Amino acid sequence: MKKVILLVLMVVATLTASAQTEQTLKFGYLSYDSVFKAMPEYATVEANQQMLREKYEAEQKRVEDDFNKKYEEFLDGQAGFPQTILQKRQSELQEMLDKNIAFKKESKKLLCQAHCEAMAPLKEKLNAVLAQIGEERGYAFILNTDVNSTPWLNKQMGDDITETVKDLLK
């Protein structure tokens, strides 16, 4: 009998603690991407990235044009070249091609790195605002609803803070 009473008391205590936790557990949710893209600094960073991308594309076009010109010259004169000059020109073309490929890979890597470095301060600022809101409102956590990562939320237990965050970041 004592065991049954003790078991019942433990179950009641667990259910009471669980019910209290459920009542006080609050969370916030937002679309991180929409807030991030609404930041005033985002447009500036994107414009700067576009200008950098255009510079790399212009350089790639220039070296590609140089290669094409040399290749056409090679094709036009190859019938009259002695074997050693033919081999020399072929190796020059191959070297140019290799350098162009390496430049494309390197520029892609550098553009990606520049983008990440430019966006890092924006993400830090946004995350700081989220931490501030979470602390002020007593949230247990804040969910990112992008990419259907949370297909359903109980809106009575959580708050959509997307607009609040956008207003704080202006």
Asked if residue 127 belongs to a domain, the reply is yes
pTM above 0.75, yes or no: no
Domain presence at residue 126? yes
Number of domains in the chain: 1
Cα 107 to Cα 55: distance, rounded to the nearest angstrom: 10
| pLDDT tens-digit series, residues 132-158 | 999 999 999 999 999 888 888 888 889
- 78 within some domain: yes
User: Which 8-state DSSP code applies to residue 161?
Assistant: -
**Strands (DSSP E) along the chain, which ranges?**
27-30, 141-144, 158-160
pLDDT digit string, tens, across residues 89-133? 999 999 999 999 999 999 999 999 999 999 999 999 999 999 999
Does 82 map to a domain? yes
Residues 57 and 61: their CA atoms lie apart, in Å, by 6
Q: For residue 15, is it within any domain? A: no
Q: Range of 94's domain?
A: 22-169
Residue 75 lies in a domain: yes
Whether 4 maps to a domain, the answer reads: no
Q: Is 110 a domain residue?
A: yes
CATH code for the domain in which residue 145 is found: 3.30.910.20
